[in-house]
Amino acid sequence: MTTAHLEAERADIAAACHQLAASGLVLGSAGNVSVRTGDHIAITASGARLADIGLEQIVVVDVDGALVGGDFAPTSELQLHLDIYRHHPQTGAVVHTHAPKCTAVACVLDELPVLHYQQLTLGGATKVAPFHPFGTRELADAVSTALAGRSAALMANHGAVTHGPTLDLAVEYTLLLEWACAVYLDARALGTPRILSADQQSAVIDTALRLRYGRPQSLSKEP
């Protein structure tokens, strides 16, 4: 197999990396992105600069991490990606960044509380995985634990990781998490943030379901 078999997925990853860099969420080679298709995973190569990454720097591995396409070694965080896919069968993409607001919060808190209802999209309060050196089994295990029931986690003194059924959603979750961290930091600078209670969060979920929040709703009467 060659990387050409996942050319569309690799092109999507390159575009996502460029978007993340343009948004100020990645710097240099810090960060990695992957997409799963069947038994293969397209993933950024180790040392690739995400702002200008090309398709040749996005390699293909199997679900055990063996390189099956490409001329570069995969990211050092490969195990992190493999574990997320293993624990979340419906996940189609993983995004890891050193986004500045996320990283700042991950240097202080053990959990990002729910200040705004949009955080419920990520599964509620965002756990902070304990610090372990990058690329280690210990870090992958800690992040997997923090992601239980959630689409996002912070990594102590390191960064953030999100996952979703599609790459577009995984990137959207990364942007949302960075925004939520910025809101927390701004609120904390003004005083003591008001955290949404469990009852308030449940009420939001009930309302969102009733109003089909976040879904396009056509007003056309045509069948």
pLDDT, tens only, 104-138: 999 999 999 999 999 999 999 999 999 999 999 99
Residue of 171 and 222 predicted with greater confidence: 171
Those residues whose C-beta lies under 8 Å from the C-beta of residue 216, and which sit 6 or more positions away, are none
In one-letter notation, the amino acid at residue 110 is D
How many whole angstroms separate alpha carbon 6 and alpha carbon 11?
A: 9
pLDDT at 148: 97
So which residues are the catalytic ones?
Answer: 77
Mean pLDDT to the nearest integer, 206-213 = 85
The percent of residues above 70 in pLDDT, for the chain, comes to 94
Mean pLDDT to the nearest integer, 165-172 = 98
pLDDT at 113: 99
In the chain, the domains with their CATH numbers are 3-211 (3.40.225.10)
pLDDT at 208: 86
Distances (CA, A) of 59 to 49, 56, 74, 124, 156: 14, 7, 6, 33, 28
How many whole angstroms separate alpha carbon 141 and alpha carbon 148?
A: 11
* The pLDDT of residue 32 is above 90: yes
How many whole angstroms separate alpha carbon 210 and alpha carbon 178?
A: 28
Q: What is the pTM for the complete model shown? A: 0.92
SS3 119: helix
Helices (H), the chain: 7-22, 78-87, 100-106, 137-146, 167-190, 198-211
* The pLDDT of residue 215 is above 80: no
